[in-house]
Amino acid sequence: MVYDDVFFVWETIWAARYASSEHFVLFIALALVELYRDIILENNMDFTDIIKFFNEMAERHDVPKLLVMARELVHKVQILIENK
């Protein structure tokens, strides 16, 4: 990610500890996998291929979209926990 995006993500992670989840960074990782799921599956990528892919995508992620997806995933998990 470019510097401004990294700063924005870190700031969001720190704020999320108090607003939504102290494990928000895991939801960001899950959102990244979900965002690129079709590409990963279509190319039958293994772990090494996925790592290479994410390294190549380093400065091209849509960070605002990624953070919205992560927030939505947190919300889905919170709803699941509430509706046990």
For the chain (84 residues), the mean pLDDT of every run of 10, in chain order, is: 82 85 90 95 96 89 92 91 83
pTM of the predicted structure, to 2 decimals: 0.82
CA distances from 74 to 42, 50, 57 (A): 27, 23, 24
Whole-angstrom distance, CA of residue 24 vs CA of residue 2 = 20
Asked whether the beta carbons of 69 and 31 are under 8 A apart, the reply is: yes
Whole-angstrom distance, CA of residue 56 vs CA of residue 11 = 24
